[in-house]
Structure 1
Amino acid sequence: MQTLDVYDWIAIVFYFLVLAGIAVWVINKKNATTEDYFLAGKNVGWFVVGASIFASNIGSEHVVGLAGAGAGNKLPMLIYEIQAWVVLMLGWIFLPFYARSGVFTMPEFLEKRFDARSRWILSIFSIVAYVLTKISVTIYAGGIVVSALLGIDFWTGALATVILTGVYTVLGGMRAVVYTETLQAVLLVIGAAALTIIGLDKVGGWESMTQTVTPEYLNMWRAMDDPDFPWLPLLIASTITGIWYWCTDQYIVQRVLTAKNIKEGRRGTIFGAFLKLLPVFLFLVPGIIALALKMRGELEWESADQAFPVLMSNLLPSGLRGLVAAGLLAALMSSLASVFNSCSTLFTIDIYKKLKPETPEKKLVRTGQIATAIIVVIGMLWIPVMANISGVLYEYLQSVQSYIAPPITAVFLLGIFSKRINGTGAYVTLVTGLVVATVRIVLELVKDNFSTDSILYQFGDMNFLSFASWFFLFCMILIVVVSLLTGQPAKEKVENLTFGSISEEEKSKNKSSYNWVDIAISIAVVIVVIAVMIFFNGK
């Protein structure tokens, strides 16, 4: 690792000055109501919505972890990064229902479609999921990045970034998050693109890199008997997780709800889907480059998660290295800011306001700020436990998400596509799902205490992709059976909230919210996704 020089520090300081300027400008705009604070006044355009979706998703855990997957023979994890087609589902399928319902949060939508029980369980489920899969992972990855770049110890780096991000998130609310994320998305793309281009030049081009790591290494499709990434469970599980993450999770959907209208929101998701095509080239490929250079003896790193920071510090020239370092810090901060604000929204709107409906708007905003601080502390306490679940950061993230996603995906999909699914079916599925997911995580941590022949060991040791696929099928059957055995939902629970009950007026409104350009770009994005899947077949 090379340390940063004076030109690098000038680039980093310049970035933080611009970021501070944006934050101060936003903070000076009053956040008088919960709509101002949590949804940026519902007045955001498509470019900012799309950039915010991308920046929220691409945190330092992606930069570090996806490059680590490229460097650590885990190329099938690439499938999670070519889910631009799932982002399109958010805009084309889910957003119209969310917009018509006028909700702030996803649990609030479940209450409108089902009942208050589903709202409560999803609120708790989501906050637990944020601690397990977002806050702790982001802080952990940020600590790795900051300590590697700035030469300080892990916890100092992690704490400093958490505090800095927390300040502008608490003071500026959602408006501060989406506008700073727009800057961070632009910086991250420029910096990572520069590293990819310089890295490919250093390694002698794509062909030379492929020969070093062998073509078989670049195969994301593995045999069904592969112990880690059998191709069919990989395809099914990644789709289930993708729909949960992109279409039903507060963390992402909240960005789209800030849009002025459905048209701007949908175009934001189309732009976000286009940006989502970039991580393959910006982060995964540098990981493969780092591995090729290591195999040739030109680069040295201990764990795969260090591949990106080491490559960056050794290959990039002075000044540009600082810019990419700022981009990595930006990625960390944008993810943290997003999850802080989402936790704040969930706790305030779905729990506190539900318990105390007469609370004034200003007090609700203050309550959300306090809740954020508490959740951050819990996330930091979880970091040491993370290390026991999976060796590579990105795989850890996907494995835990694979346990959380199936019941939520089943409830939202069938809730929107079927009028017959009722509140009891949704509630039973969510509760059962939370219990099964918890049992799986615990057994994965303690499985070595059981005999390898025991059911408990096999349940904890089962491939996480196969587990997620069967778990999703179980949840789909459960919600259908319970709903059919209990009464039909009331008319107001399905009207304009399911595909079979949209009024002609609403259909007409939705039709006028897009044109042929939106359709053409969406189709082009899907074609690129298919092309990437075909390209990475190891031949």
Structure 2
Amino acid sequence: MQYLNNFDYAIISLYFLILIGIGLYLKKRASENLQEYFLAGNKMPWWALGVTGMGWSLDAVGTMLITSLLFLLGPRGLFIEFRGGANLALIFMMIWTGKWHRRSNCMTGAEWMTYRFGDGAGGKFARAASAIAQIAFSLGMLAYMAKGVGLFFSMFVPISPFACSVITIGIAAIYTISSGWYGVVFSDIFQSVLITAGIIFVVVKASLAIPDADSLHNLAIQITGVKEWASAVPQIHAAMPKAYEMYESLFMFTVFLVLKNIVAGFSSGGEPHYFAARNERECGKLTCLWACLLTMRWPMMMGFAILGLFLVKDLFADSESLMQAAELIKVHLGAVGKNQWPDALAGIINSPEKYSPDLISGLREIIGPDWAGKLPLLSYEGTINAERILPAVLLSKIPSGMRGLMMITLIAAEMSTFSATMNKTTALFTRDIYQKFLRPKASHKELLAAIYIFSVSLIIIAFLFAYTSKSINDIWGWIMMGLGSGLAVPLVLRLYWWRFNGSGFALGMTAGLLGALVQRTFWPQLHESWQFVILTSIPAVFSIIGTYLSKPTDNEVLENFYRTTRPFGFWGPYKNILPPDAREATRIENRNDLIALPFGLCWIISMFMMPLTAMAMNFRALAAAFIVFMIGVAGLYKFWYKNLPPEPSKETGSGK
């Protein structure tokens, strides 16, 4: 089995030491108070928060997963990643939901519930339910990272996927817990330089490997069996490989995902980046930069996918050998399940002397004398494990030294996502549960201790969840289409319907969370489209029931919310509380925001698609995407950018 060499390990070790050093250096500044720890005192410029947003959205596990989809489907893999990897909700946050949340001057999305519903029984119920539900969502994200990071890094070192997860996430936890939001921002700026260098290298290397368009397309068809590999159109019925049959109705699945993104987008905006922004104008600017920087990941992932096609061609003469090897392993290992498959392969590779000689000799005969180097690419179904294409390419197609840099690029992406998720989750627990309900008079020292203890506990639970899951695609699909759908409806209603109250929100969130957990426990194989339909319907019903079973939110709270947030939607009873000039300005602002939305969606989708079609050498699709992109740019400039709020003067400060 081929692993990294000492030079690669030295580069990675230096990177880890720098990260830990950043965390320890910033520890004192972050520990001054909760505002400093969780939001860096609202001192960070918009471009730094935009870089942090990109770092939050780009992770090694997601990169590995999306690379597998692009390897199997070409540019159409983008449509499946409308689940979350291609974050269309950024448009809604850029245009209006980000600034709406910033106007509250709150610290967390759960604290915002007090601003919206008041501090009575309903508001407290809503705040607690929001905190618990968001912590559950973050737990799913951390489990997804724990599962994927083990699968990824175990291909580079002679230890199991579980041990790799423990080491990598342990190091990330050290600097994240030490430095809070300061550590997130400063480490992301440092890591963005590394990520950019890695992206450029992969794109150039993949481009040089392609002889011509016809050769690439023929190779892709030969390896994947998908005739429409270079297409950028979601077909009504698309050929899918084993374990991906759920996406055969690709067009309808894409429609569901766009609908899901609209629901999620209307409910978005409660991210720490917006609470940490200096003013509402910077909320829009940081999100625009976030989306533009996130575009860079797509040509890198397509580059890895293309290099993966050439790698599989070199390693495996035919697909029949893969099926035979998988069956042989199942015969010798007995009741090994799909969720234990990666660890079982790692055991065979790293300790072949512990297994039957017949198994080892059989593998050598079926897939060749270098069987140990090929085995990580074997899936449970007896096909290519596309989720491991990226690490396999790193080992086989990237030279020493540069391979260490690429590893750092992907580790940096993972660390960024992990640190931002941990910071957000610990803020919810400390601010909205521990300090609000359990220990209102807790000292700052006690709150820091609560942060440390909760962080460690959260990581342990995430590991338990991760290693009962079959694959990272399995976890990611449930997070985005199951759990995410279950929580979305109450988050939408809180912004656009005045009568919606804290009880309705809490009951809807509880129903959505429990529904998602029940589905995951008893019907884990439920198609993602049905997860979306069922798990948005249940909380919608309970939200409305809870709303009408209790009285409306206090009028004083609603008036303050409407005056400061100025949302559109069903706010008829409160629109007249604004002075005539403010009412007209709000009407124009809301109108422009809604008109800008379709232009924004065209802009971001085409911006993500253009580098994919360019790398796949589908130049007709590239030209079409470019035309859509320019239409989106023109619409956004007219209806969004020109109407951004002015920069606040030094006298008024950086608040609203």
Partner of 2:228: helix, strand, or coil?
A: helix
Partner of 1:216: helix, strand, or coil?
A: coil
CA contact (8 A) 1:237 1:469 kept: no
CA contact (8 A) 1:12 1:322 kept: yes
Question: Cα gap change, 1:30/1:53 in structure 2, threshold over 3 Å: closer, same or farther?
Answer: closer
Say which of 355, 358, 377 aligns to 2:441.
358
Say which of 191, 194, 201 aligns to 1:184.
191
Say which of 342, 346, 352 aligns to 2:424.
342
Say which of 236, 251, 264 aligns to 2:256.
236
Partner of 2:155: helix, strand, or coil?
A: helix
Answer yes or no: is 1:223 the counterpart of 2:236: yes
Moved more, 346-355 or 179-188: 179-188
Say which of 114, 134, 143 aligns to 1:136.
143
Question: Cα gap change, 1:431/1:33 in structure 2, threshold over 3 Å: closer, same or farther?
Answer: same
Q: Note the 1:108-257 alignment, pairs <5 A.
A: 108-114=111-117, 115-132=123-140, 134-204=141-211, 207-214=214-221, 215-219=227-231, 221-223=234-236, 228-229=246-247, 230=249, 231-237=251-257, 239-240=259-260, 244=264, 248=268, 253-257=271-275
Partner of 1:357: helix, strand, or coil?
A: coil
Instruction: Give the match for residue 456 of structure 1.
Output: none
Identity, in percent, stands at 18
The 2-side partners of 1:210 and 1:53 are apart by 35
Offset at residue 416 of structure 1 (A): 0.9
Instruction: Give the match for residue 469 of structure 2.
Output: 386
Question: Cα gap change, 1:137/1:245 in structure 2, threshold over 3 Å: closer, same or farther?
Answer: farther
The 2-side partners of 1:521 and 1:6 are apart by 51
Q: Deviations over 1:192-243 (max 9, x none)?
A: 3312321232243555322322351345614279862332343333553676
Q: Deviations over 1:260-300 (max 9, x none)?
A: 22222321111111122223222244224413541464795
Question: Cα gap change, 1:30/1:107 in structure 2, threshold over 3 Å: closer, same or farther?
Answer: closer
Question: Cα gap change, 1:217/1:473 in structure 2, threshold over 3 Å: closer, same or farther?
Answer: farther
Alignment length, in residue pairs? 513
Offset at residue 348 of structure 1 (A): 0.5
Partner of 2:110: helix, strand, or coil?
A: helix
Instruction: Give the match for residue 431 of structure 1.
Output: 510
Question: Cα gap change, 1:13/1:112 in structure 2, threshold over 3 Å: closer, same or farther?
Answer: same
Say which of 465, 488, 496 aligns to 2:552.
488
Q: Which amino acid aligns with 1:117?
A: F
Partner of 2:32: helix, strand, or coil?
A: coil
CA contact (8 A) 1:199 1:315 kept: no
Q: Note the 1:407-446 alignment, pairs <5 A.
A: 407-445=486-524
CA contact (8 A) 1:82 1:529 kept: no
CA contact (8 A) 1:87 1:247 kept: no
Answer yes or no: is 1:89 the counterpart of 2:89: no
Instruction: Give the match for residue 453 of structure 1.
Output: none
Question: Cα gap change, 1:84/1:78 in structure 2, threshold over 3 Å: closer, same or farther?
Answer: closer
Instruction: Give the match for residue 50 of structure 2.
Output: 50
Instruction: Give the match for residue 22 of structure 1.
Output: 22
Answer 1 or 2: higher relative contact order, Cα 8 Å, separation at least 6.
1
CA contact (8 A) 2:67 2:389 kept: yes
Say which of 289, 302, 305 aligns to 1:287.
305
Offset at residue 377 of structure 1 (A): 0.9
Q: Which amino acid aligns with 1:160?
A: I
The 2-side partners of 1:131 and 1:531 are apart by 31
Instruction: Give the match for residue 401 of structure 1.
Output: 480
The 1-side partners of 2:213 and 2:405 are apart by 25
Answer yes or no: is 1:369 the counterpart of 2:452: yes
The 1-side partners of 2:159 and 2:474 are apart by 26
Offset at residue 444 of structure 1 (A): 2.5
CA contact (8 A) 1:240 1:405 kept: no
Question: Cα gap change, 1:523/1:28 in structure 2, threshold over 3 Å: closer, same or farther?
Answer: farther
RMSD across aligned positions (CA): 3.5
Question: Cα gap change, 1:344/1:512 in structure 2, threshold over 3 Å: closer, same or farther?
Answer: farther
Who wins on radius of gyration, i.e. which is larger? Answer: 2
The 2-side partners of 1:419 and 1:233 are apart by 33
Q: Deviations over 1:412-455 (max 9, x none)?
A: 2222122222223222221221222122111224xxxxxxxxxx
The 1-side partners of 2:583 and 2:157 are apart by 54
Instruction: Give the match for residue 348 of structure 2.
Output: none
The 1-side partners of 2:599 and 2:145 are apart by 32
Say which of 389, 405, 424 aligns to 1:307.
389
The 2-side partners of 1:395 and 1:291 are apart by 23
Offset at residue 10 of structure 1 (A): 4.5
Offset at residue 112 of structure 1 (A): 2.6
The 1-side partners of 2:131 and 2:61 are apart by 24
Offset at residue 16 of structure 1 (A): 3.4
The 2-side partners of 1:23 and 1:243 are apart by 37
Unaligned runs of 5+ residues in structure 1 are 446-460
The 2-side partners of 1:325 and 1:27 are apart by 27
Answer yes or no: is 1:100 the counterpart of 2:100: no
Moved more, 327-336 or 172-181: 327-336
Q: Which amino acid aligns with 2:134?
A: S
CA contact (8 A) 1:54 1:276 kept: yes
Offset at residue 30 of structure 1 (A): 4.9
The 2-side partners of 1:82 and 1:344 are apart by 24
CA contact (8 A) 1:59 1:332 kept: yes
Q: Which amino acid aligns with 2:605?
A: V
Question: Cα gap change, 1:245/1:175 in structure 2, threshold over 3 Å: closer, same or farther?
Answer: farther
The 1-side partners of 2:8 and 2:585 are apart by 51
Q: Which amino acid aligns with 1:62?
A: G
Question: Cα gap change, 1:418/1:149 in structure 2, threshold over 3 Å: closer, same or farther?
Answer: same
The 1-side partners of 2:453 and 2:212 are apart by 51
Partner of 2:229: helix, strand, or coil?
A: helix
The 2-side partners of 1:239 and 1:193 are apart by 34
CA contact (8 A) 2:126 2:506 kept: yes
Offset at residue 143 of structure 1 (A): 1.7
Question: Cα gap change, 1:45/1:509 in structure 2, threshold over 3 Å: closer, same or farther?
Answer: farther
Offset at residue 245 of structure 1 (A): 8.3
Offset at residue 135 of structure 1 (A): 1.2
Q: Which amino acid aligns with 2:505?
A: A
The 1-side partners of 2:105 and 2:41 are apart by 13
